[in-house]
Amino acid sequence: MMDILIKTDRRPVSGIRSMLFLIAAIFLLPGCSSASDTEIPDPEPPGPEPVETGTLLPENITLVARVTGRSESGEMIPNPNRTDARFNIGRTDYSNMWDAGNGTVMCVFGDNFDYGGGNWKSNAIALSSDSDLTDGLYYSGMLMDGNAVKEIIVSRAKTGQYPDGSEYEVTCIPTGGIAVGARQYLNYMSIHDWTPTGDNDYWSVNYSEIVYSDNYGAAWTRSGVKWNADSNFTQIAYLKENGLVYMYGTHSGRYGNVYLARVSETKLLDKSAYEYWNGAGWKRSEQAAVPVARGTASEMTVAYNSRYKRYMMMYLSVNQRAIVYRDAPSPEGDWSGEKIIMYEDGNALYAPYIHPWFNEKDELWFVISHAVPTWNVFLMRADLNWDEAGVNLLSEGGFEEHPTQALSYKTRWNVNTAALTSRDAHSGKIACRFSNTNSGEWQDVCTQTVSLQQNADYTIECWVKSEEMLPEGAYVGVRLPDGTIHDVTGTAQAGEWTRFGCEFNAGSAANAEAFVGVWGAPGMTFIVDDICLKPIKTE
């Protein structure tokens, strides 16, 4: 095997680059960042670094139990709740969860019905004190209104307000909850239209809003703290740490990137106190927010694993019709690439939510929702282990998720139409094969945009193989938004895997487009595999 490390930056970097990086690093230390107008002090790290470092991989994923509804014919898993019989809830949307702080986990549903489709409520909350999930997640009860399950936020479709107005409200769907002391906070999205374009994965909203309760859910108050319809925080996931509440957000529907805000836990209802991550620091402007993770995210959950010192994120990637996992060493990132852990298998699965009580071990407990044959919720378990492949900010860097020859099948890559799968792989079973058909023209073989930390150092590499000697012409690198290109080329010997790689600094960029591309004569064919972009540690 050969190792190519020829750097060919298209825009020269000053010879005093290392000094400038050192100065930038000094000014980006907590409390010294010139890029932030924050008054919130940066939190202390949550604990010592783990003995091992890297990224995690959920494995051995197991269906443990049904959580809601009645068991289908032939179903053999436990069903401890029988919500259809106990609470007249036979079908329900997803179940988000948070620790209420009183020995109870609040489990909030979206739209729910009796088994026949009647008794519609926009939302409801179940209560659980179950500390042993091996036989299922048991609900000790639900928030009630007399003898009926309580609807927390009643939509205007029921109250008759704005029946034909621009703020017509179909339903009110909770997306994230959190407790600060005894007060419960719940963020919901006001749904305007479920299918304004005919696409079931895109819906429009009026806004998202926080409601709160000071008596553990007996009564809820609308706060008036809202994010408008075009905000990237109309669906959210909360994470509480060191006196701060982090709020991860996506746009309405299932096609949004992931953004990040934070606020003091004492100022959740003061919208002017929220700060938004801009790639280098925190700004008191929602418009300054940049994606911390890129993909097609919705129904998202974030939690911290204290054993591995990693922040975990899961969501439905609608383009791949799969549940994906990614993690990071800090709330801001760098977030690993998407790792597919569950494919849609005729059950229209969606909405993975991590249980808040079991994140100090080498296991992951979460619920998942199925829309087929009926909307309901199920409990899942996975082992958590270090990923032997190591850190990679790119999704599908090894092209392993492609069961057909068409590389574009369910992929995070933007791929050339001439790119196909190959069974001749550097690792795993699949690689990307490309045959050049143009002479004297640049062609991207595959590209993918990733989020970066400003002024941080990174490396990008790939492995290349050709049947004949491949002279310079194949490149791997990144394009920054300002037009700067950092890339590398080299000569690959016939029949040998050759590593191409280069290092770069993000500068002021909060994202980069990673690419493999080619200049060359028609007929030049090569295989590329194991494309990896990762941060360079600077301890």
Other C-beta atoms closer than 10 Å to the C-beta of 522 total 10
Angle at Cα 343 formed by Cα 177 and Cα 416, nearest 5°? 110
Q: What pLDDT is attached to residue 523? A: 74
Let me know if the fold of 2-41+393-535 is the same as that of 56-386: no
- Under 8 Å between Cβ of 415 and 430: no
**CA 4, CA 219: separation in Å to the nearest integer?**
64
Q: What pLDDT is attached to residue 22? A: 31
User: Which pTM does this prediction carry?
Assistant: 0.89
Q: What pLDDT is attached to residue 158? A: 80
**CA 460, CA 306: separation in Å to the nearest integer?**
29
Residue 39 has pLDDT above 80, yes or no: no
Choose which CATH entry (2.115.10.20, 3.40.50.10790, 2.70.70.10, 2.60.40.10) describes domain 56-386: 2.115.10.20
- pLDDT tens digits, one per residue of 323-357: 999 999 999 999 999 999 999 888 899 999 999 99
Question: Alpha helix (H) ranges present in 208-334?
Answer: none
Q: What pLDDT is attached to residue 472? A: 75
Residue 150 has pLDDT above 50, yes or no: yes
- Under 8 Å between Cβ of 174 and 96: yes
Q: In this prediction, what percent of the chain has a pLDDT beyond 70?
A: 88
Closest CA to 86 of 144, 33, 165: 144
Q: Which residue has the higher pLDDT, 480 or 46?
A: 480
**CA 154, CA 183: separation in Å to the nearest integer?**
20
- Under 8 Å between Cβ of 341 and 56: no
Checking phi first, is residue 473 left (phi over 0); if not, alpha (psi -120 to 50) or beta? Answer: left
Q: What pLDDT is attached to residue 411? A: 84
Q: Per-residue confidence at 34, pLDDT binned at 50, 70, 90? A: very low
Residue 361 has pLDDT above 90, yes or no: yes
Q: Could you tell me which residues come within 8 angstroms of residue 461 by beta carbon, excluding any fewer than 6 positions away?
A: 476, 499, 500, 501, 502, 530, 531, 532
**CA 422, CA 432: separation in Å to the nearest integer?**
6
241, burial (CB in 10 Å: exposed 0-12, middle 13-18, buried 19+):
middle
Structure tokens given for 414: 């933007």
The kind and range of the H/E element at 86 are helix 83-86
In the numeric block, the tokens 């999704």 are attached to 395
Structure tokens given for 223: 């706060």
- Under 8 Å between Cβ of 207 and 230: no
Nearest 10 degrees: Cα torsion 420, 393, 460, 510: 120
Residue 78 has pLDDT above 60, yes or no: yes
Residue 9 has pLDDT above 60, yes or no: no
- Under 8 Å between Cβ of 316 and 254: yes
Structure tokens given for 265: 């836990």
**CA 324, CA 337: separation in Å to the nearest integer?**
9
**CA 298, CA 112: separation in Å to the nearest integer?**
19
* Omega before 373 within 30 of 0, i.e. cis: yes
Q: What pLDDT is attached to residue 28? A: 32
**CA 360, CA 358: separation in Å to the nearest integer?**
6
**CA 249, CA 257: separation in Å to the nearest integer?**
8
Q: Reduced to 3 states, what is the DSSP secondary structure of residue 37?
A: coil
Q: What pLDDT is attached to residue 493? A: 80
Structure tokens given for 171: 């339903």
Sorted by where each begins, the domain ranges of the chain are 2-41+393-535, 56-386
Q: Reduced to 3 states, what is the DSSP secondary structure of residue 512?
A: strand
**CA 418, CA 434: separation in Å to the nearest integer?**
6
Mean pLDDT, residues 386-394: 96
**CA 310, CA 52: separation in Å to the nearest integer?**
11
- pLDDT tens digits, one per residue of 259-302: 999 999 999 999 999 999 999 999 999 999 999 999 999 999 99
- Under 8 Å between Cβ of 233 and 249: yes
Q: What pLDDT is attached to residue 512? A: 98
Q: Could you tell me which residues come within 8 angstroms of residue 42 by beta carbon, excluding any fewer than 6 positions away?
A: 30, 31
Sheet holding 363-370, edge to edge: 56-66, 376-386, 363-370, 349-354
Q: Per-residue confidence at 319, pLDDT binned at 50, 70, 90? A: confident
Question: Alpha helix (H) ranges present in 87-210?
Answer: 156-159
- Under 8 Å between Cβ of 313 and 239: no
Give the strand pairing for 310-317 and 124-128.
unpaired
Q: What pLDDT is attached to residue 485? A: 97
Angle at Cα 309 formed by Cα 308 and Cα 313, nearest 5°? 90
Distance of CA 390 to the CA centre of its chain: 18
**CA 349, CA 342: separation in Å to the nearest integer?**
9
Choose which CATH entry (3.20.20.70, 2.60.120.260, 3.40.50.2300, 3.30.200.20) describes domain 2-41+393-535: 2.60.120.260
Supply φ then ψ for residue 440, to 5 degrees: 75, 15
**CA 256, CA 239: separation in Å to the nearest integer?**
19
- pLDDT tens digits, one per residue of 487-532: 998 888 888 999 999 999 999 999 999 999 998 767 778 999 999 9
**CA 279, CA 195: separation in Å to the nearest integer?**
33
Residue 408 has pLDDT above 90, yes or no: no
